[in-house]
Amino acid sequence: MKLCAGLAQGFLFSMENSKDEIRLEIELTGQDVRRTTMRNIRRVVLLAGVLAFVLIFVFFVVTSRFIIDNPPTYLRYVALATLIFGPLSLMLWIRYLFVRVSDKAAKRRLPETYLFRAEGINSEREGKSEKTAWSFYSKAVESRHEFRLVARDGSTVQIPKRCLASGEQIDELRRLIIQQMGQDAVVNE
Protein backbone atom coordinates (compact mmCIF):
# COMPACT_ATOMS: atom_id res chain seq x y z
CA MET A 1 0.00 0.00 0.00
CA LYS A 2 1.33 3.44 -0.94
CA LEU A 3 0.43 6.54 1.04
CA CYS A 4 -0.15 9.86 -0.73
CA ALA A 5 2.21 12.68 0.15
CA GLY A 6 -0.79 14.67 1.35
CA LEU A 7 -1.79 12.34 4.17
CA ALA A 8 -1.81 15.31 6.54
CA GLN A 9 -4.59 16.82 4.43
CA GLY A 10 -6.81 13.89 5.32
CA PHE A 11 -6.68 11.44 2.49
CA LEU A 12 -5.26 8.01 2.00
CA PHE A 13 -4.85 6.05 -1.15
CA SER A 14 -3.65 2.74 -2.32
CA MET A 15 -3.35 1.76 -5.91
CA GLU A 16 -2.88 -1.72 -7.20
CA ASN A 17 -2.99 -1.91 -10.95
CA SER A 18 -3.31 -4.95 -13.03
CA LYS A 19 -4.52 -5.22 -16.59
CA ASP A 20 -8.09 -5.66 -15.47
CA GLU A 21 -8.56 -3.62 -12.34
CA ILE A 22 -7.81 -0.39 -10.54
CA ARG A 23 -8.11 -0.31 -6.75
CA LEU A 24 -8.47 2.98 -4.84
CA GLU A 25 -9.02 3.79 -1.19
CA ILE A 26 -10.55 7.25 -0.97
CA GLU A 27 -11.34 9.54 1.94
CA LEU A 28 -13.05 12.70 0.73
CA THR A 29 -12.11 16.12 2.09
CA GLY A 30 -14.34 19.15 2.61
CA GLN A 31 -12.95 20.61 -0.59
CA ASP A 32 -14.03 17.50 -2.52
CA VAL A 33 -17.56 17.82 -1.14
CA ARG A 34 -17.68 21.52 -2.05
CA ARG A 35 -16.60 20.85 -5.64
CA THR A 36 -19.70 18.82 -6.34
CA THR A 37 -22.13 21.27 -4.76
CA MET A 38 -20.47 24.64 -5.32
CA ARG A 39 -22.49 25.57 -8.41
CA ASN A 40 -25.71 25.25 -6.45
CA ILE A 41 -24.44 27.20 -3.45
CA ARG A 42 -23.23 30.04 -5.69
CA ARG A 43 -26.76 30.45 -7.00
CA VAL A 44 -28.22 30.41 -3.49
CA VAL A 45 -25.70 32.97 -2.23
CA LEU A 46 -26.30 35.27 -5.21
CA LEU A 47 -30.07 34.97 -4.88
CA ALA A 48 -29.90 35.71 -1.13
CA GLY A 49 -27.72 38.77 -1.78
CA VAL A 50 -30.06 40.16 -4.45
CA LEU A 51 -33.11 39.49 -2.28
CA ALA A 52 -31.48 41.18 0.74
CA PHE A 53 -30.56 44.19 -1.42
CA VAL A 54 -34.12 44.54 -2.71
CA LEU A 55 -35.67 44.16 0.75
CA ILE A 56 -33.31 46.70 2.35
CA PHE A 57 -33.84 49.11 -0.55
CA VAL A 58 -37.63 48.85 -0.28
CA PHE A 59 -37.45 49.29 3.50
CA PHE A 60 -35.39 52.48 3.22
CA VAL A 61 -37.56 53.90 0.44
CA VAL A 62 -40.72 53.28 2.47
CA THR A 63 -39.08 54.66 5.62
CA SER A 64 -37.78 57.81 3.95
CA ARG A 65 -41.00 58.60 2.13
CA PHE A 66 -43.71 57.75 4.62
CA ILE A 67 -42.22 57.59 8.12
CA ILE A 68 -39.47 60.22 8.07
CA ASP A 69 -40.21 63.23 5.87
CA ASN A 70 -36.69 64.61 5.60
CA PRO A 71 -34.08 62.15 6.93
CA PRO A 72 -30.87 63.64 8.28
CA THR A 73 -27.65 63.21 6.28
CA TYR A 74 -26.10 60.69 8.69
CA LEU A 75 -29.20 58.49 8.35
CA ARG A 76 -28.78 58.53 4.58
CA TYR A 77 -25.16 57.38 4.95
CA VAL A 78 -26.22 54.62 7.33
CA ALA A 79 -28.87 53.56 4.84
CA LEU A 80 -26.36 53.51 1.99
CA ALA A 81 -23.83 51.51 4.03
CA THR A 82 -26.52 49.03 5.07
CA LEU A 83 -27.69 48.75 1.48
CA ILE A 84 -24.17 47.84 0.34
CA PHE A 85 -22.73 45.89 3.27
CA GLY A 86 -25.92 44.14 4.44
CA PRO A 87 -26.32 41.86 1.38
CA LEU A 88 -22.54 41.40 1.12
CA SER A 89 -22.34 40.31 4.77
CA LEU A 90 -25.25 37.93 4.27
CA MET A 91 -23.58 36.38 1.22
CA LEU A 92 -20.29 35.89 3.06
CA TRP A 93 -22.07 34.42 6.08
CA ILE A 94 -23.95 31.87 3.93
CA ARG A 95 -20.70 30.85 2.22
CA TYR A 96 -18.95 30.50 5.59
CA LEU A 97 -21.75 28.25 6.87
CA PHE A 98 -21.57 26.16 3.71
CA VAL A 99 -17.81 25.64 4.13
CA ARG A 100 -18.30 24.57 7.77
CA VAL A 101 -21.11 22.16 6.86
CA SER A 102 -19.15 20.59 3.98
CA ASP A 103 -16.07 20.13 6.18
CA LYS A 104 -18.16 18.43 8.85
CA ALA A 105 -19.85 16.24 6.24
CA ALA A 106 -16.48 15.13 4.88
CA LYS A 107 -15.22 14.30 8.39
CA ARG A 108 -18.26 12.10 9.03
CA ARG A 109 -17.69 10.06 5.87
CA LEU A 110 -15.61 6.98 6.29
CA PRO A 111 -12.97 5.91 3.76
CA GLU A 112 -14.32 3.93 0.85
CA THR A 113 -12.48 1.38 -1.25
CA TYR A 114 -13.29 1.10 -4.96
CA LEU A 115 -12.26 -1.65 -7.31
CA PHE A 116 -12.81 -0.68 -10.95
CA ARG A 117 -13.04 -3.68 -13.29
CA ALA A 118 -14.40 -4.35 -16.73
CA GLU A 119 -17.32 -6.24 -15.12
CA GLY A 120 -18.30 -3.29 -12.90
CA ILE A 121 -17.38 -1.33 -9.81
CA ASN A 122 -17.03 -2.89 -6.37
CA SER A 123 -17.19 -0.54 -3.42
CA GLU A 124 -16.63 -1.29 0.23
CA ARG A 125 -17.36 0.89 3.25
CA GLU A 126 -17.55 -0.19 6.88
CA GLY A 127 -17.18 -3.81 5.85
CA LYS A 128 -20.21 -3.66 3.51
CA SER A 129 -19.55 -4.53 -0.12
CA GLU A 130 -21.58 -3.39 -3.08
CA LYS A 131 -21.22 -4.35 -6.74
CA THR A 132 -22.46 -1.97 -9.40
CA ALA A 133 -22.62 -2.57 -13.14
CA TRP A 134 -21.26 0.13 -15.45
CA SER A 135 -24.73 0.41 -17.02
CA PHE A 136 -26.02 1.86 -13.71
CA TYR A 137 -24.18 5.09 -14.56
CA SER A 138 -25.54 7.41 -17.22
CA LYS A 139 -22.45 9.56 -17.67
CA ALA A 140 -18.95 10.24 -16.42
CA VAL A 141 -17.73 13.79 -15.84
CA GLU A 142 -14.03 14.57 -15.85
CA SER A 143 -12.83 17.87 -14.44
CA ARG A 144 -9.40 19.19 -13.58
CA HIS A 145 -9.62 17.72 -10.08
CA GLU A 146 -11.76 14.60 -10.31
CA PHE A 147 -13.77 11.98 -12.13
CA ARG A 148 -17.44 11.82 -11.23
CA LEU A 149 -19.68 8.92 -12.24
CA VAL A 150 -23.31 10.05 -12.35
CA ALA A 151 -25.97 7.39 -11.82
CA ARG A 152 -29.35 7.45 -13.48
CA ASP A 153 -30.97 8.36 -10.15
CA GLY A 154 -28.66 11.41 -9.78
CA SER A 155 -26.28 9.98 -7.18
CA THR A 156 -22.57 10.27 -7.86
CA VAL A 157 -19.30 8.48 -7.22
CA GLN A 158 -16.50 10.97 -6.76
CA ILE A 159 -12.94 9.94 -7.62
CA PRO A 160 -10.43 12.71 -6.83
CA LYS A 161 -7.45 12.73 -9.19
CA ARG A 162 -5.15 13.44 -6.24
CA CYS A 163 -5.69 9.81 -5.25
CA LEU A 164 -4.12 8.62 -8.47
CA ALA A 165 -0.34 8.61 -8.20
CA SER A 166 0.56 9.60 -11.76
CA GLY A 167 -0.75 10.79 -15.09
CA GLU A 168 -0.42 7.22 -16.34
CA GLN A 169 -2.88 5.98 -13.73
CA ILE A 170 -5.28 8.83 -14.57
CA ASP A 171 -5.09 7.82 -18.25
CA GLU A 172 -5.70 4.19 -17.31
CA LEU A 173 -8.84 5.05 -15.35
CA ARG A 174 -10.02 7.34 -18.16
CA ARG A 175 -9.52 4.52 -20.71
CA LEU A 176 -11.44 2.06 -18.53
CA ILE A 177 -14.35 4.48 -18.12
CA ILE A 178 -14.48 5.24 -21.87
CA GLN A 179 -14.20 1.54 -22.70
CA GLN A 180 -17.09 0.62 -20.42
CA MET A 181 -19.39 3.64 -20.86
CA GLY A 182 -18.54 4.77 -24.39
CA GLN A 183 -17.03 8.02 -25.62
CA ASP A 184 -20.42 9.79 -25.71
CA ALA A 185 -21.05 9.19 -21.99
CA VAL A 186 -17.84 10.96 -20.93
CA VAL A 187 -18.12 14.74 -20.49
CA ASN A 188 -15.23 17.12 -19.79
CA GLU A 189 -15.85 20.12 -17.57
pLDDT at 163 over 60: yes
d(CA 1, CA 13): 8
CATH architecture classification, 7-27+110-181: Roll (2.30)
Please tell me the pTM assigned to this model: 0.60
DSSP code, position 154: S
* Tens digits of residue pLDDT in 92-146: 888 888 888 888 877 777 788 888 888 888 888 888 888 988 989 888 888 888 8
DSSP code, position 19: S
In this structure, the strands spanning 186-188 and 137-142 are: parallel
Q: What is the pLDDT of residue 7?
A: 30
d(CA 50, CA 52): 5
Transcribe 63-100 into DSSP letters. IIIII-SS--HHHHHHHHHHHHHHHHHHHHHHHHHHHH
